[in-house]
Structure formats: C-alpha cells, structure tokens
Homo-oligomer: A and B are copies of this chain.
C-alpha cells in the first residue's frame, strides 16, 4: 500500500504539512495519493540513523550483504502488478517498458550480489614484511576498499526503477557497505515508496541494521539541499539535468568537509556518419536512427541528439530519408507535463536560431503530454559558431550538422562539451582513414560505439557510463556496471596489524578465497 509517508529507516513518518501528488501523463490527471514532504527534523533523523547503521553495516560480510541485495530483488518482484501499474500511472511509460526496467533493476541488484559473493572486488593488496631489509625493515602492509559512509541517492525522472530507489546507485552503495538515503523523485513517489518498502522488508528479513535505508519525499529542492549539506552524509549519487547535478556538486564542494558527488548529467551523444557508409546504406541508417531518436520518447541520457557528417548528395538524401522515417513513428507520451513543456521550450529556442532548417516536424495533433519528434539541420560553420546549439533538447529531437570537410568535422568534435557516448558509422576500412576524427572523439566521451546506436546501455563490467564534464561530474568513475561500486569506497591500509584483528579479506589464511595481489602477484593462495 502506498501511504504517501517517508520512511525513516523502517518507520513510516509524516511530520510535515507540505504535500504533493504525482501525475498520470497518459490520462492528463493527478494521481490520488497525497505525499508528505520530509521535514528538516525527519532529514536529520534519517541521517543520524544512517550514521549509526553505518557502524554495523560497514562490517557486514559480503555473503550477508549479497543476501540483502538478492532479497531486495525478490521483494521487488513480490510487489507484482501493483508496482507495474503504479510505474505506468506515474510515468506514462508502457507496461512493457515497466517490466523491462524492473528486470534491469533486479538484474543490477543480483549482479552486485554476485560480485559480493565472489568477494575479490575489495582489491586486497598485500605487501609482506621484510624485517631484515637495509637500511630499514619493510613493514607488512595490507590494503582493501572500505565504504565511505552514508550516501544520498537522488531518484531520476526517466528511470523510475533502474536509476531510482533501488536502482544502480543504491545497489552499488549498499554493496559497498554504505547506508543509503533516497531523495525520492516527485514524479514517481508512489513507485518509490513501493520499492522502498521492498528494500526495508529485505533489510528486515536479512537482519540489516535499522537505518541502512531511508526514503524521503519532496517536490522541491530543499530536502535534497539539506541532505547534501548534512555533515553525516559522505557522498551523493544523482542522475538528471546539468542544472540539477551542478547545483548539488556546488553545494557539496562548499561544505566544510567537501564530499564526492557523482552526477550523471546531460549528453547529446554525437553520431559521426562517414561518407562511404552514408552512400552505401543511408536509407537503412535513416530508419535505424529514426528509431533510436524516438525510443522511450527520446528520454534517454544516451539519446543521439547530434548527427555529424560531411556534406554530400548522400547526406542530403539521408536527411530527407530520416525526416520521412521519423514522422512515421507514432508519437508517444512524455514523463510529465513539465518535461513536455521543457521539451517544447528548448526545441522552440533551438529551431529559432539563425541557420537552422526544420526538416521533419510532426504536425498532426497529438494527445496531451505527447512529444512531436523533430529533425533539424545546420551548416557546420554555423554550429561551430553557436554554442547554444550544443545544448541537450531532452526528448525526440536531433540536429544534423552538415560539415564542409573532415577538418571542420574534427574541429566541431574537439569543441564539443564532454559526452557519455559517441558513435562512428563507417564502412570497411573507412574508420582508419579518419584518425584525427576518432582521436578527437576519444577525448570527449566515455564510450565509443561502432556501427550501432548509443541508446541501450548494456549492464556489464566493461561498460563506461560517464564521461568528461558535463556528461558527469567525475569522469574517473562509471555509473553503470559493477565497477560503479568504486564511487562509494576508499582504499584503507593496515600496517603490521595482528592477523586475528584483520578483516577476513586480508587475513593470512585467505578465508574468503578471494583473488589478492601479494607482493605483486595475483593469487588466491594463503600466506604461510
């Protein structure tokens, strides 16, 4: 049941008087539940409880944390139809997407559980003592990764499950041993509360300390700001707009003790289509990209918002073809009236820029909150000179830049802001003849895709979801895949520490049978 209340640890709490409701964009009506925003007192309680829980939780074994994560996955599935229905009612997204995203969320939790059960992720590194070394004896040093402390996770509007309450940030932080306080996204607080109840049920069943998880409601920025500023909070995870992410980063940087903020923010994900590919399969590419631009109503952070190619007849045909194809796609519902409004405003600003030609615009009347996909085109020189054209238009919108030549293409890429992805479309040996273009792309992005589409982010160890600012606030980490756990941990060394008092991962006997680096060698051996 959705109560509209906050969870301070495992207690429902509603001390405040500010309320809000979520919205059903498909029906264009408010949903019924009244959500009560967390008060300053409740925020303090949640952080206090998380700090207390951390003392026990940081020492919970990997096996037990894995049981906790797997139990969360199970409890999410137990929510059944209620979760899927609430998700759809609060996002306007179709049931298939809800089920798919639930699968992704459950899969993420299970992949971290697997990581914990294997155990080697702590990067145990041991340099044994050399008591007879001259001029000075070498001490015994043993290092492993330890959790930072309570983490605040902000729910994302565009992924009510996979990047929200029990999404990637939460799963990674809990796996690391950090208690999590979620600032629920106001567009899907019902979905959030259901998932929160699943997490707390799992915590109870697996004996986790109270305070390991809390869920706070708010429709404005105040609750989030207070959380980020609280001295008990040690790190922040965020997925959303550049404006939102940067505001949190700035708050965290101004603290007496600055804390890491990992914000995965905007990206226009440039796609470079090289001439041969354009000539040989422009038609097929147009169809593929009409799909990639409109999938999920363009509400993915990896949406291809910028197509780059060198001027040619083939490019003109491609633009025509893409424009024809995209208007064939049935328009779909956006997440919230605010999102549609932002889309329309940003698009309006973009198409009003000098030199922009609209080549495809859906003119038929659409339902309320439905987005009309749009393609524009511009000359390379104009794009180079007008930085505002680089800005993300969150939704099914893409601009095709017609570059004068390869040199200009390279210059445009090197002037781009940091991006999550870039894609190169090339035929045969074509890519190897544009080394400067590829080198320029490498320097601006976190992931480089060959002959594919940027949408659809595989959850796996080799994934990088992040990139130079403003794709993320710290390009040294990924937000997706098991290595995203590294955002929430720090190295910690023991020097000459008694074997009996060392954590299991560092004991001579290697009781966890994990992979360790001992005196420079990878091994699962014991230390004799």
Contacts and interface: CB of A to CB of B under 8 A. Distances in A.
Interface string A491-525: 11111111011000000000000010100101000
A492 B464 contact: yes
Given A431-B501, A458-B141, A461-B143, A448 B494 contact: yes
B257 A253 contact: no
Given A139-B458, A253-B253, A474-B260, A495 B452 contact: yes
Interface in A458-495: 458, 460-464, 466-470, 473-478, 483, 486-487, 489-495
Nearest to A460: B127
Given A143-B464, A462-B143, A438 B489 contact: no
B486 A55 contact: no
B250 A475 contact: no
A471 B30 CA distance: 50
A516 B467 CA distance: 22
Nearest to A146: B442
Interface in A119-175: 125-127, 136, 138-139, 141-143, 146, 148-149
Contacts of A298: none
A25 interface: no
A475 B490 contact: yes
Residue of A149, A250, A466, A490 ringed by the most chain B CB atoms within 10 A? A490
Nearest to A252: B253
A123 to B, nearest CB: 8
A253 B250 CA distance: 7
A221 to B, nearest CB: 19
B477 A491 contact: yes
B463 A493 contact: yes
Contact of A464 (B438, B486, B493): B493
Contact of A462 (B141, B418, B460): B141
Nearest to A489: B476
A364 interface: no
A283 interface: no
Contact of A448 (B431, B466, B495): B495
Given A257-B418, A257-B469, A431-B498, A141 B463 contact: yes
Nearest to A431: B501
A329 interface: no
Interface in A332-378: none
Nearest to A424: B497
Contacts of A462: 125-127, 141-143, 493
Contacts of A515: 522
Given A125-B462, A126-B462, A498 B456 contact: no
A520 to B, nearest CB: 7
Residue of A59, A126, A139 ringed by the most chain B CB atoms within 10 A? A139
Contacts of A259: 469
Nearest to A142: B462
A127 B458 contact: yes
Given A258-B469, A470-B257, A496-B449, A148 B475 contact: yes
A127 B136 CA distance: 45
Contacts of A498: 431, 450
Interface in A211-264: 249-250, 253-254, 257-260
A447 interface: yes
Given A442-B146, A470-B257, A520-B461, A476 B496 contact: no
A458 B478 CA distance: 31
A446 interface: yes
A451 interface: yes
A496 B143 contact: no
A515 B325 CA distance: 46
B491 A456 contact: no
A260 B262 CA distance: 12
A432 interface: yes
Residue of A146, A446, A462, A470 ringed by the most chain B CB atoms within 10 A? A462
A404 interface: no
A450 B55 contact: no
A496 B253 contact: no
A489 B336 CA distance: 38
Interface of A: 55, 58-59, 125-127, 136, 138-139, 141-143, 146, 148-149, 249-250, 253-254, 257-260, 418, 431-432, 438-439, 442-443, 445-452, 456, 458, 460-464, 466-470, 473-478, 483, 486-487, 489-498, 500-501, 515, 517, 520, 522
6 contacts: A55-B443, A141-B460, A148-B475, A258-B473, A432-B501, A447-B493
Given A448-B493, A450-B498, A451-B496, 10 more contacts: A139-B458, A146-B442, A438-B501, A447-B493, A448-B494, A450-B494, A450-B496, A476-B489, A476-B490, A477-B490
- Give me the 9 closest cross-chain CB pairs, A-B, nearest first: A253-B253, A141-B462, A464-B493, A475-B490, A449-B495, A143-B462, A127-B462, A447-B493, A127-B460
